[in-house]
């Protein structure tokens, strides 16, 4: 495994998934650190508060996705995991929410299409919360597939099966208390066949680990082997539809012990990706 620092995203990159005036307005509104100065905050809502470290972190989070796309497209890496915060999948085109300011995975997906001319990209989201922002950004874009498992009902309240976009969205909601077999069934029966059929040129993963049994924010019961399993299944499809090109990014996960173990299980599976050469 090669570790790289995440570069800052450019306004041009962010403007691929968000209106440029929104990007510029947010960057102007987020507090800058002042040496020796007081901590300052910008509260968007009760969950979503920027501190003086947030602007740089948010820029590096989205920048990581673009740099990871570059590394995979250049053949410098077979796949990549972006260990970033703040997360992104709740951020809509002009509305930060749910700890998210810019939609990192949407920026990465839009960047892959714009920079490399990829025709079809897919985003798979197994965070326990529905990726409402990602769905909203791409719901009218048939060239982007979005497949999500999430607890339902739960914040943010979207993600019902009937939300199909233009046929490019597959939501597989899971009832509170659902565990490994329900999760694997949802993937095997709904998400993976649709992903396979869509046959993307690049696959992104919104990897939130807050569906873990120990997570305090929700009530699904997944464990590390489930994250390893789903990662392998996605890689198996990636190997035959897109030469294994996968970029994964951290979304949620709020029990720090199980977040670390789950992310390690996910990255271990990414490192063991099937050889496509
Ligand atoms: Zn989440």
For 137: left if phi > 0, alpha if psi spans -120 to 50, otherwise beta; the answer is alpha
Distance in Å, CA 34 to ligand 1 centroid: 31
Distance in Å, CA 173 to ligand 1 centroid: 14
For 102: left if phi > 0, alpha if psi spans -120 to 50, otherwise beta; the answer is beta
How much helix, strand and coil, in percent to the nearest 5, is found in the chain? 40, 15, 45
Name the burial class of residue 218, with classes exposed (0-12), middle (13-18) and buried (19+) by CB atoms within 10 angstroms of its CB: buried
**CB < 8 Å & 24+ apart, contacts of 192-195:** 192/233, 192/234, 192/237, 194/145, 194/147, 194/170, 195/122, 195/124, 195/145, 195/147, 195/234, 195/237
Distance in Å, CA 128 to ligand 1 centroid: 5
Per-residue pLDDT tens for 214-246? 999 999 999 999 999 999 999 999 999 999 999
- What's the half-sphere exposure (Cβ side, CA atoms, 13 Å) at 113? 21
Per-residue pLDDT tens for 66-124? 999 999 999 999 999 999 999 999 999 999 999 999 999 999 999 999 999 999 999 99
Q: 34 or 110, which is more confident?
A: 110
Residues, beta carbon < 5 Å, ion ligand 1: 127, 129, 208, 210, 252
Distance in Å, CA 114 to ligand 1 centroid: 28
Residue 275 has pLDDT above 60, yes or no: yes
Which among 175, 176, 174 is positioned nearest to 230, based on CA atoms? Answer: 174
Catalytic (active site) residue 90: yes
Distance in Å, CA 170 to ligand 1 centroid: 18
Per-residue pLDDT tens for 147-174? 999 999 999 999 999 999 999 999 999 9
Cα–Cα distance for residue pair 140/229, rounded to 1 Å: 31
Q: From the candidates 18, 41, 89, 90, give the one annotated as an active-site residue.
A: 90
Domains and CATH numbers, the chain: 64-271 (3.40.800.20)
Distance in Å, CA 147 to ligand 1 centroid: 15
User: Residue length, the chain?
Assistant: 277
- What's the half-sphere exposure (Cβ side, CA atoms, 13 Å) at 270? 25
């Amino acid at each position: 495994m090669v570790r790289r620092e995440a570069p800052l995203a450019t306004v041009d990159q962010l403007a691929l998934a968000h209106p440029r005036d929104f990007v510029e307005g947010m960057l102007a509104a987020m507090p800058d650190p002042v040496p020796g100065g007081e901590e300052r905050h910008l509260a968007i809502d009760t969950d979503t508060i920027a501190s003086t470290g947030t602007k740089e972190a948010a820029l590096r989070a989205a920048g990581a996705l673009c740099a990871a796309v570059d590394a995979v497209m250049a053949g410098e890496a077979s796949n990549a995991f972006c260990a970033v915060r703040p997360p992104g999948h709740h951020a809509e085109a002009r509305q930060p929410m749910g700890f998210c300011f810019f939609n990192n995975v949407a920026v990465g997906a839009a960047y892959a299409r714009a920079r490399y001319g990829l025709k079809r990209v897919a985003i798979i989201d197994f965070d326990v919360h529905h990726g409402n922002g990602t769905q909203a950004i791409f719901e009218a874009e048939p060239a982007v597939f979005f497949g999500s498992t999430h607890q339902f009902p739960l914040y943010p309240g979207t993600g019902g099966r009937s939300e199909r976009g233009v046929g490019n969205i597959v939501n597989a909601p899971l009832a509170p208390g659902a565990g490994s077999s329900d999760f694997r069934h949802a993937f095997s029966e709904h998400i993976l066949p649709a992903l396979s059929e869509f046959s993307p040129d690049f696959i992104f993963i919104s990897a939130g680990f807050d569906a873990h049994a120990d997570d305090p924010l929700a009530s699904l019961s997944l464990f590390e082997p489930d994250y390893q399993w789903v990662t392998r299944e996605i890689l198996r499809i990636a190997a035959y539809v897109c030469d294994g090109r996968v970029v994964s990014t951290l979304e949620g996960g709020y029990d720090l012990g199980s977040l670390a173990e789950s992310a390690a299980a996910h990255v271990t599976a990414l490192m063991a990706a099937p050889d496509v050469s």
